[in-house]
Structure 1
Amino acid sequence: MTHHVVRSTRRRLGYAGAVVATAGLLATGSTFAFADTPDTQESAPQSTTLCGASFLIEPEYGDKTYQDAFNRLDKAYGLESVRVFYSGLPKDWPGRFDSGALTTTVSFKAAPRDIIAGKHDALLKKWFAGAPTDRDIYWSYYHEPEDNIAKGEFTAADYRAAWKHLVTLADTADNPRLSATLILMGWSLEPGSGRDWKDYFPGSDVIDVLAWDTYNDIHADPDSYLSPEELFGKSVAANKEVGLPFAIAETGSDLVPGDDGSGRAAWITEVADYLTDNDALWVQYFDVDFTDHGFTDFRIRDAAGQAAWRDFCSS
């Protein structure tokens, strides 16, 4: 029984009912290459955590398009999933690039009041209807909304209401490979944030997957590589509390000063092992130079780090 069927069952019956239904169904038996996924709606069950990446066009590496950037990263790692961002509404499929049948996490943005009012209903219904059925699509509305809400750009109540409206649109596509995926900051789980992450949570009857963006440090020259438990333990607990599948949509770290890359490589392996042990659906490394946005360069450009992520992808 594939995990997307479990999700759609949980949506219909509620999580507790889905556990019983799933158990019953199970009891009845019911190197540098592109990931090989069958071109069918009912692909083989996911048996382990998928590796993935976010990326940008990098002319210094020969990229002219997002397709070039994807091809470069996929050749380097053998990606199993991919992250796609839209700063506004999503483009028609396949979107910015064609990733074959790789599991895809895609996010888009629009003002919650416009979503609630139905301003984009026609476009979004068409987009959901056109989504592939040969791969899992984890779609996310306005990932990391916390700062926008804190700035007063929109309210948490409107954000939750917009999610509920969007799920009704997605359901019209009748595509079990579409999963409503809430992506929040790992920082919002920390006492220092002063936040309650459930302010942004529209409910387990709306959301299929709860994912997190969690970094070792968003700034240059971090002091150390924090343990996976320190970084992700609160996320694992939050997902267990609400009974939702767990995933990491963004993670990464700059090099600690003096590290030739071997220290970060060991940390990458520890992170991959920890998240796999905690049943993350996917982990997508933020392979982006984000210094222009006031953060740091998270890209893996040393041989040891690249080998660590490649090993994760091939495991």
Structure 2
Amino acid sequence: MRRLMAMFAAAAVALVTLPTPAHASTPTVFGASVYQPSGQTFTQALANAVSRYGTLPVLRVFYPGAPGAWTDAKLNTPGRSTVVSFKYDADTVLTGAADDYLRSWFAAAPRDRDIFWSYYHEPEDDIRDGAFTAAAYRAAWQRIAGLADQAGNSRLYATTIWMDWTLDPKSGRNWRDYYPGAAFVDVMAWDVYNFDVANSETMATHNANRPGLEVARSEGKPYAVAEIGVDDHANRPAMLREIARWMRGTADARFVTYFDATGWPQYDLNGDTASIQSWKEAVTGTLFAGTPTMTTTAGPAAPTASTIQWSTRVDPAQKVGWVSCASWRTSGSDFLEGPRQYVAGNPETVTCDRTGLPANTSYRARIKWWDAQTGGSLLYTSNTVDQVTAAS
């Protein structure tokens, strides 16, 4: 929790950001895997994807074995974050056979962009089928994470990628069977599929049954989606917008990449103009653009004889600025405005405290928005809430 205090004669006001993931100031980035038809190079396919969705700030790329060199077109994409997975047999990893290659690969990784690396995405079925044990997978993950740490690159993020089906009670699985431990994981990402087509299931309802967000938060890790696919073609444009809003707002996801891949026509968006437009709005941010909105409520703490508290959900709407606390007596003056806090990116909740107040006195409070793009002008104010300090 970050707390900034401004002291005034007989009273003080503080603005507090409620506990959120460590990356809360970083906007959710939306991207995709790259649909690569036969006969096209990856560079050509990427250019086509950009023409459909706009500049993709994050790409999802796959290697069926060892990861490629950083000069490979799939990885040589300056200016873009990369979600990259690779596969080795877990028992082979534990012999040390991959150590030298992976140590060099991590050491050579770019330091000017985020690299979300994942060892053996979706291992669940392979473990079920006896390719290796869950214990071997966990141990292999730990070994590889240690090699990544040796690189000393703060832009490398160890990212688990599992099926969200694993979280469905009907799967009979326990995600902890695959978890190498909090010390070896930076981000928990999921592959999200199988929406209830008959009922145009929302992302919130889907997550309630397969709670990837809650699992990530229970471990104190950022939540992300490495693959998502919607096969409800009739409702897909609207569903993609709803999913994107949920990811940016409720989930505060680190990244979301749509599975727009060859060989899966039920999911790829090729030829679906309306769905392409929906995902383009998420990728470019136009889906979230507009006027910053701020909704203020009393509390969560009840007034005492000398304190009040109010909370505001702030959606920056693709803008940057500052917010500040303001409060005053409902009759009379005693106006006080607290410190400013920078806001940008995803919606977040800020809570203001004012202390040193007289008992049994009515106060009114709100949040103000000062816009960074116009030299710090006061542009917006939230609704107000009234509270009465308790009797002494």
**Pair 1:290-2:266 in alignment:** no
Higher helix share: 1
Q: Percent identity?
A: 39
- Contact 1:107-1:143 at 8 Å conserved across structures: yes
Q: Tell me the CA shift for residue 210 of structure 1.
A: 0.4
TM-fit CA distance, 1:224: 4.2
**Rounded Cα–Cα distance in structure 2 between residues aligned with 1:290 and 1:176:** 35
Which one of the candidate residues 210, 216, 223 is aligned to 2:198? Answer: 223
* 1:269 maps to 2:241: yes
Tell me whether 1:89 sits opposite 2:59 in the alignment.
no
Q: CA deviation at 1:243?
A: 1.1
Q: What residue in structure 2 maps to residue 3 of structure 1?
A: none
Q: Please give the residue correspondences for 1:2-21 in structure 2 after superposition, counting only pairs within 5 Å.
A: none
- Structure 1 distance, partners of 2:140, 2:29, is 29
- CA–CA separation in structure 2 for the residues paired with 1:296 and 1:224: 17
- Looking at structure 2, the residues matched to 140 and 99 of structure 1 have their Cα atoms a distance apart, in angstroms, of 18
User: Which of 27, 30, 39 is 1:48 aligned to?
Assistant: 27
What residue number does 1:41 align with? none
Q: Does 1:207 align with 2:180?
A: no
Point out the structure with max Rg over C-alpha. Answer: 2
2:50 alignment partner, SS class: helix
Per the alignment, residue 238 of structure 1 pairs with 215
Asked whether the equivalents of residues 29 and 57 of structure 2 are also in contact (C-alpha less than 8 Å), the reply is yes
Q: Structure 1 66/187 Cα, relative in aligned 2: closer, same or farther at 3 Å? A: same
| Contact preservation (8 Å) 1:182, 1:207 | yes
Q: Which residue in 1 is equivalent to 2:312? A: none
Aligned 1:176-191 pairs, distance under 5 A: 176-191=154-169
Q: Which residue of 1 aligns with 2:36?
A: 57
Cα separation, 2, equivalents of 1:103 and 1:94: 15
**How far, CA to CA, are the matches of 1:94 and 1:254 in structure 2?**
34
Q: TM-score, normalised by structure 1?
A: 0.78
In 1, the alpha carbon distance for the partners of 2:79 and 2:119 equals 22
Partners of 1:148 and 1:174 lie apart in 2 by: 31
Which of 96, 106, 114 matches 2:84? 106
Post-superposition Cα deviations, 1:20-59, rounded to whole Å, max 9, x if no partner, equal 7xx48x99xxxxxxxxxxxxxxxx9963110110124214
For structure 2, the residue ranges without an aligned partner over 5 or more in a row are 6-22, 286-392
Q: What's the counterpart of residue 15 of structure 1?
A: none
Q: CA deviation at 1:297?
A: 4.1
TM superposition shift of 1:246:
0.5
Correspondence list, 1:159-198, <5 A? 159-198=137-176
User: Quick one: which amino acid aligns to residue 204 of structure 2?
Assistant: E
Aligned pair 1:305/2:275, yes or no?
A: yes
* Distance of 2:213 and 2:146 partners within structure 1: 28
Equivalent residue, structure 2, for 1:33? none
Q: Structure 1: where are the runs of 5+ without partners?
A: 1-19, 28-43
User: Do structure 1's residue 279 and structure 2's residue 252 form an aligned pair?
Assistant: yes
- Tell me the SS of whatever aligns to 1:205: helix
* Segment drifting more, 302-311 vs 268-277: 302-311
Aligned partner of 2:45 in structure 1 is 69
The answer for the alignment partner of 2:373 in structure 1 is: none
**Conserved? CA contact 1:214–1:231, under 8 Å:** no
Find the counterpart in structure 2 of residue 252 from structure 1.
229
**Would the aligned equivalents of 1:216 and 1:226 in 2 still touch at CA under 8 Å?**
no
3-state SS of the aligned residue for 2:157?
strand
The one-letter amino acid of 2:244's match is A
Q: Residue in 1 aligned with 2:355?
A: none
Pairwise CA RMSD: 2.2
Aligned equivalents of 2:164, 2:217: Cα separation in 1: 15
* CA distance in structure 1 between the aligned counterparts of 2:255 and 2:283, rounded to whole angstroms: 10
Contact 2:259 / 2:267 at 8 angstroms: preserved in 1?
no
Change (3 A) 1:287 1:224: farther
Q: Deviations over 1:232-264 (max 9, x none)?
A: 3411111111111100000011234xx2xxx21
Letter in 1 for 2:245: D
**Cα distance in 2 between the residues matched to 1:306 and 1:64:** 20
The answer to whether structure 1 residue 124 and structure 2 residue 96 are counterparts is no
Judge conservation of contact 2:57–2:79 (CA < 8 Å) in 1: no
**Offset, 1:67:** 1.2
Contact 2:269 2:276 (8 Å CA) reproduced: no
Equivalent residue letter for 1:232: N
Give the conservation status (yes or no) of the 8 Å contact 1:180–1:208: yes
